[in-house]
Structure 1
Amino acid sequence: MAKQDKPAAEKKQGRLKQIVASYRMTKKSDPRIGLILLGTFLVAGALGFLLFYFLPGGWILDVLTAVLIGLLAALVVFGRRAQNAAYTQIEGQPGAAYAALGLLRRGWKTDSAIAFNKNQDLVHRVVGPPGIVLVGEGNPNRLKPLLANERRKHERVASETPIHEVIVGDPNVYAGAVPVSRVAKHVQKLGRAVKPAEMTDVLARLKALDANRSNIPLPKGPMPTNLKGARQNMRGR
C-alpha cells in the first residue's frame, strides 16, 4: 500500500515545487504579488463569509466556505499575473512567439523556426482548424520576404488549404502586428476551415515539404520556456 501511495506523494510535491517556482518567477517582474494575493484572499473570503452567514448552517461551515472562496480567487489572480509575468520576461527574445503558441490546446500542430535569417527573424508554423498559419517574429520589413517565400512553398504542396500570415510585435510600432500576449487567441479566432479528418492529409503534405529542411541549421540562442507550464501549474497538473 505504501508503494502505491509514494508516487502520489511525489507527484504532489512536484506540483508544489512548480507553484513555488511560478511564484518566484512572477515576483521578479511583479514584486507586489504577495500583497495582491493576500488582499484578494481576504476580500473574497470576507465577501464569501457575509454571503453564507445569512444562509442556514453553522459558522464553522461559513468559515470553511469563505476560506475556499478566498483561495480560489487568489489562485485565479495568481494564474493570470503569473502568465503576464511570463510574457513580460520572454517578450523581445527570439522564439517568444513560439513559446506563446504553446498555449494552444489539443488539435493544433506547431513547428518552430521553419524559416529564419541571420538576424534571427523567425517564421513559425501552426496547423489547426483555420488551416496553415505562418507566424513571423522579428523586424516586420525583413519578415515580409520570409513570409512570402514560405507562403509560396506551402501553396505548392497544400493549395486547397487556407494560409494565414501573422506578424508578432508591437501594434503601436507596426500596424497590424499582434502582441505576443495575444498571439494564441488571435490564431484561434482565424476561423474553422479544416476539419480534424483533413488534418492528417495536410500534415503529411507538410512533412514532405519539411524533409528538405532537415539539414538547415537552427538559429543560435535558447528558446524561451513554453508558457503552457504556467497555466498547468495553476490547474495542479
Structure 2
Amino acid sequence: MAKSRNPAQTKAAKAEAKAARKAASKQRRSQLWQAFQIQRKEDKRLLPYMVGAFVVIVAASVALGIVAGGFTTYLLIPLGVILGALVAFIIFGRRAQKSVYKKAEGQTGAAAWALDNLRGKWRVTPGVAATGHFDAVHRVIGRPGVLLVGEGAASRVKPLLAQEKKRTARLVGDVPIYDIMVGNGEGEVPLAKLERHLNKLPANITVKQIDSLESRLVALGSKIGPAAMPKGPMPGNAKMRGVQRTVRRK
C-alpha cells in the first residue's frame, strides 16, 4: 500500500509545486505590468526610449547580418531582438528606480528605507539615534567597516553622528568608522547615489570580522529602538505628532 501511495503523493506534490510556481510567475508578471503602466503614465520619455533602443539594436543586428551574409544573418536577427528587448527592460528598470528615489527623497525614513534595500552583505540597524523630529542615525556594518548614516536636518544630525561615533569607537577598536550625511547639500550624499557611494568605499575588514562586529555592537543597542522608526519613507505633510511623542518617550 505504501508503495502505491508514495508515487501518487509525489506526483501530487510536484503538481502542487508546479502550480505554485506558475501562480507566483503570473503574479510577478502582473506586478511588473502594473509598475510599467504607472511608470509610463508618469514618465513620458520612457516608451520612446525603450522603443528607440529596441529599434536601433535590431536594425544594427539586421545590418550586420546582411553584411556578414550566409547563416550568420539568421543568427544575428533573433539575437538582436533578444538584446533589444533586454536593453529596453534595463532602461525601464533604471528609470523606474530613479523615479522611486525621486519620490522618496526628502521624506522621513527615506535613508532607512534605502539602506534596508541594499544589495550585498550589509548589516543594517535603523535608528540607533534620533531626535523628536525624526532626524536619525542608522548603523551599517560591511566590508568598509562601520558606517553611520544620518538623515534629517544637518544642524541636528551632525551632533548625533559625532556622539554615536564616539560610542561606537569604544567597541570597534581600529575598525574604520565612516559618517555619511544623506541630502543634497555640500558634502552630503544624495539618496539616489547612497548605495553607489557605499559600494565605492574600500574593503577594510573580512566577512568574519563583520559577524564579530555585529555581535559587539548589539550590546551598544539603540537609543530609540527600530520600532519607533517609520518602516519606509513618510510624506512630508504626514501627521507625525503621535510618532514624535513615541520617540521622545524612548
Match of 1:190 in 2: 201
Match of 1:79 in 2: 93
CA apart distance, 1:105: 2.6
Counterpart of 1:209 in structure 2: which amino acid? L
Write out per-residue CA displacement over residues 95-136 of structure 1, whole angstroms, 9 at most, x where no aligned residue: 212222245333211121221111111111110011100000
Match of 2:40 in 1: 27
The structure with more helix, counted as a fraction of residues: 2
1:201 to 1:213, Cα distance in 2 relative to 1, 3 A: farther
Match of 2:172 in 1: 158
Is 2:129 the partner of 1:119? Answer: no
The alignment partner of 1:136 has SS state of: strand
The TM-score with structure 2 as length reference comes to: 0.79
Match of 1:97 in 2: 111
Match of 2:52 in 1: 39
Contact 1:94 1:122 in 2 (8 A): no
Q: Within 5 A, what are the aligned runs for 1:101-180? A: 101-170=115-184, 174-180=185-191
Counterpart-to-counterpart distance in 2, 1:52 and 1:122: 57
Relative contact order (alpha carbons < 8 A, sep ≥ 6): 1 or 2 greater?
A: 1
Q: More deviation in 143-152 or 26-35? A: 26-35
1:22 to 1:224, Cα distance in 2 relative to 1, 3 A: farther
The TM-score with structure 1 as length reference comes to: 0.83
Task: Give unpaired runs (5+ residues) of structure 1.
Answer: 226-237
Counterpart-to-counterpart distance in 2, 1:24 and 1:222: 26
CA apart distance, 1:160: 2.6
Contact 1:169 1:178 in 2 (8 A): yes
Counterpart-to-counterpart distance in 1, 2:63 and 2:115: 42
Q: More deviation in 83-92 or 183-192? A: 183-192
Counterpart of 1:117 in structure 2: which amino acid? T
1:125 to 1:88, Cα distance in 2 relative to 1, 3 A: same
Contact 1:130 1:194 in 2 (8 A): yes
CA RMSD of aligned residues (A): 2.3
Q: More deviation in 204-213 or 116-125? A: 204-213
Give the number of equivalent residue pairs: 220
Q: Percent identity, aligned pairs only?
A: 32
4+ runs of 1 displaced by more than 2 Å?
Answer: 1-5, 24-29, 52-56, 58-66, 98-106, 211-214
Counterpart-to-counterpart distance in 1, 2:152 and 2:222: 25
